[in-house]
Amino acid sequence: MTTSELQPAPNDALQRTVPGGGGFLEIHACLRPDRSLNFGVMRRYALSMKQSILALLLFAALLAIHAEEPPAKDGWSAPVNGLRARITFGEVRTVSGSRLPQVFVELHNTTDVLGVLEFDLDVGKAFRYELATADGKPAPRPIDISMDGHVAGPFRVAIPMHGTLKFPVSWSGYGIRPDFGTIFSLQFGLWEIPADDPNDYFLSATLTVARADDDRLDRRWHGTIKLPGAKAPTKK
């Protein structure tokens, strides 16, 4: 939180007029994309410094709720610079007798700022996945892998205020072992769970987007998000 004297906030900022002994303060607050608050103070009548500071502190307390990040729930990660993410599962297809669950990633713009949150996303490079049991035991992976498929991207992602983008991250470029069990096929991530494996597995991920070299004004999103483990559909 930063405070500046005689510096008005933008037109879409929150505003309050706080009375004090012998005058008023007109206080502006702007919620930045990273959910920090920027305050501006304009004296409309003469106030003592003590009264000015007290009024500003009271106003900051009233607005504190606007700067809080929503708690992580329903599989969502904690927000990072106004963006949160989670893993979900869709239809479970059967290919050559093996089960292939469809895997999705959802991105949600948590900011209260008009406009869009945008960045360039290379799905194959930005995500790193891990499939493991609740106590951290890695899921079995094949020793021999054959792969042949198209890799698309990168893409420009643009998510409006409070908007959500959902897209599949399953990849169909691997050879599928027939009549095996449940197979999770992701770009740069392949796991094969035998049909008689009694364990529950959870798919987690890390999303990393570096700051773009040509983004001199730092307008595009960048950061690292830890996506919590989502229970994988390994049982029929």
The full set of domain ranges for the chain reads 2-67, 83-231
pTM over the 0.85 mark: no
Sequence-distant (≥ 6) Cβ neighbours of residue 19 within 8 angstroms: none
Q: What is the mean pLDDT of residues 55-68?
A: 46
Q: What is the mean pLDDT of residues 204-217?
A: 90
Measured over the CA atoms of residue 232, residue 189, residue 158 and residue 38, the dihedral's sign is positive
**Distance (Å, rounded) from C-alpha 27 to C-alpha 82?**
24
pLDDT for the residue 36: 45
Amino acid sitting at position 190: L
pLDDT for the residue 40: 46
| CATH number of this structure's domain 83-231, picked from the four choices 2.20.28, 2.60.40, 1.10.30, 3.30.70 | 2.60.40
Residue from 174, 177, 203 nearest 188 by CA: 174
**Distance (Å, rounded) from C-alpha 206 to C-alpha 229?**
10
For 98-150, the pLDDT digits (tens) are: 999 999 999 999 999 888 999 999 988 899 999 999 999 999 988 766 656 66
pLDDT for the residue 142: 81
pLDDT higher than threshold 90 for residue 51: no
**Distance (Å, rounded) from C-alpha 184 to C-alpha 75?**
19
Token digits of residue 31? 């919620």
Token digits of residue 174? 């691997």
